[in-house]
Amino acid sequence: MKIAILSGDGIGPEITGQAVKVLNALGESFEMETADVGGAGYAAHGHPLPPATLALAKAADAVLFGAVGDFKYDNLERALRPEQAILGLRRELGLFANLRPAILYPELAGASTLKPEVVAGLDILIIRELTGDIYFGKPRGVRECPDGPFKGQREGFDTMRYAEGEIRRIAHVAFQTARKRGKRVTSVDKANVLETFQFWRDIVTSVHQEYQDVELEHMYVDNAAMQLVRAPKKFDVIVTGNMFGDILSDAAAMLTGSIGMLPSASLDANNKGLYEPSHGSAPDIAGKGVANPLATILSAAMMLRYSLDRAEQADRIENAVKAVLAQGLRTPDIFEEGMTRVGTEQMGDAVVRALA
Ligand code: NAI
Ligand code: MG
């Protein structure tokens, strides 16, 4: 099994280093190879996604990604900005399914802005489609408005599109993933108003025929937004389009109140994937040794589960993370009175010890 380690910018190298340490402690013989990406790619090779980095990512069974971006690259032209690396990797690797868990460990229930009884023990997974929807549909632009009360004025317009195959493959990911969890899928759409999402609903329903052991529910996006803050624990797997997923996954992430804890995965059709923390490169704390490495360590666990067929090793890591939280160890971002404050390195070491 070959893993590409792309640690990137800011806190990327610090947090990825801890995840590598944890992977090495599992007693498996993974082949890990590192390459420059993002601002680090630009600084060393003049491009955020250098050819050698892309080649490594393509050759590997999975990619563990830190984060990219730094204000010092803000004046570069768009094609050379660090963030282009992640878009390029998604495109070149054919990653279409973005899995974002929102998990709130009971020990951290105080970090949420919602009442502990509403969110303690939350464990939901949002699956966002990444390639279609109004973000990429053509035509788009600004034109002269052809009709209605504003006829003749300028108007902005975009096109919402989803191809049948695009919906089918994300629906399969949702049902297959739900099978490994709570066996419930909520498909979120706006079928009452949008043709695209009535079509989405019909296709998801037809794919469901192959997964009768999984429960399927359809929900309008406005209601889903409401339920996410009212009774989020009712959900197991939520599957939705690119735009609704963008918004709902950020809202769901914030239910947990701790950005430093949330992993993510982006998968292709063969379960190859890119795994990264949900947060960015946090330039404000980079190099200080205080970043929370748990989101990246948990991303490595997702990698073991979804791409490397090592579910029991993923369980081991997730249990080790629970154990260090139960021991009261906290990086500054999740610190509370009475707990033990630790840095990035100490947190990584504690997870390694808890594996044993
Ligand atoms: P950010 O997630 O990097 O930081 C937001 C806040 O959360 C900061 O105060 C930061 O210190 C804190 N934070 C983030 N991760 C943390 C961790 N592991 N432990 C403790 N605290 C943590 O988002 P921001 O500030 O909007 O963006 C900073 C840079 O990151 C930008 O250049 C942005 O483009 C990039 N970015 C990259 C992403 C990626 O690589 N996939 C995703 C999001 C942003
Ligand atoms: Mg977003």
ipTM more than 0.95?
Answer: yes
Q: Which of 222, 234, 309, 315 is catalytic?
A: 222
User: Which H helix or E strand runs over 304?
Assistant: helix 294-306
Please give the single-letter amino acid code of residue 182. G
Q: Is 229 annotated as a binding residue?
A: no
Spatial distance between the Cα atoms of 274 and 17, rounded to a whole number of angstroms: 17
- Residue 350's nearest CA partner among 333, 336, 329 is 329
Decide if 275 is catalytic. no
pLDDT at 211 (0 to 100) = 98
Centroid of ligand 1 to alpha carbon of 279 (angstroms): 5
Residue 67, ligand 1, Cβ within 6 A: yes
pLDDT at 88 (0 to 100) = 93
- Residue 344's nearest CA partner among 283, 286, 259, 263 is 286
CA triplet 181, 183, 186: central angle to 5 degrees?
110
pLDDT at 180 (0 to 100) = 87
Tokens representing 65 are 């990604």
pLDDT at 92 (0 to 100) = 94
Decide if 222 is catalytic. yes
Q: Is 290 annotated as a binding residue?
A: yes
- 221 within 8 A of 240, measured Cβ to Cβ: yes
Q: Is 191 annotated as a binding residue?
A: no
pLDDT at 253 (0 to 100) = 86
Q: Which ligand is nearest to the CA of 253?
A: 2
Is CATH 3.40.50.300 what the domain over 1-97+261-356 is classified as, yes or no? no
- 36 within 8 A of 25, measured Cβ to Cβ: no
pLDDT at 269 (0 to 100) = 87
pLDDT at 179 (0 to 100) = 93
Please give the single-letter amino acid code of residue 352. V
Please give the single-letter amino acid code of residue 80. L
Question: Is residue 231 classed exposed, middle or buried when 0-12, 13-18 and 19+ CB atoms within 10 A define those classes?
Answer: exposed
User: Ligand 1, closest atom to CA 276?
Assistant: 41
Tokens representing 50 are 């250098």
Centroid of ligand 2 to alpha carbon of 246 (angstroms): 5
The residues spanned by each domain of the chain are 1-97+261-356
Centroid of ligand 1 to alpha carbon of 282 (angstroms): 4
pTM: 0.91
Residue in this structure with the two tokens 């504690």, named with its chain if needed: 350
Q: Which of 180, 234, 250, 315 is catalytic?
A: 250
Spatial distance between the Cα atoms of 88 and 85, rounded to a whole number of angstroms: 5
DSSP-derived secondary structure letter, 226: H
Q: Which of 190, 236, 306, 349 is catalytic?
A: 190
Nearest CA to ligand 1 atom 1: 280
Question: Which residues sit opposite 202 in a β-bridge?
Answer: none
Q: Euclidean distance between the first and final Cα of the chain, in Å? A: 22
Spatial distance between the Cα atoms of 184 and 238, rounded to a whole number of angstroms: 9
Phi, psi dihedrals of residue 37, rounded to the nearest 5° = -145, 155
Q: Which ligand is nearest to the CA of 244?
A: 2
- Residue 64's nearest CA partner among 318, 354, 332, 308 is 308
Centroid of ligand 2 to alpha carbon of 247 (angstroms): 6
Q: Which ligand is nearest to the CA of 252?
A: 2
Decide if 236 is catalytic. no
pLDDT at 19 (0 to 100) = 98
What pLDDT tens digit does each residue of the chain (356 aa) get? 999 999 999 999 999 999 999 999 999 999 999 999 999 999 999 999 999 999 999 999 999 999 999 999 999 998 999 999 998 999 899 999 999 999 998 888 888 889 988 998 899 999 999 999 998 889 999 999 999 999 999 999 999 999 999 999 999 999 999 998 899 999 999 999 999 999 999 999 999 999 999 999 999 999 999 999 999 999 999 999 999 999 999 899 888 878 899 999 999 988 899 999 999 999 999 999 999 999 999 999 999 999 999 999 999 999 999 999 999 999 999 998 999 999 999 999 999 999 98
CA atoms within 13 A on the CB side of 183: 5
Q: Is 152 annotated as a binding residue?
A: no
- Which residues, 6 or more positions from 206, have their beta carbon under 8 angstroms from its beta carbon? none
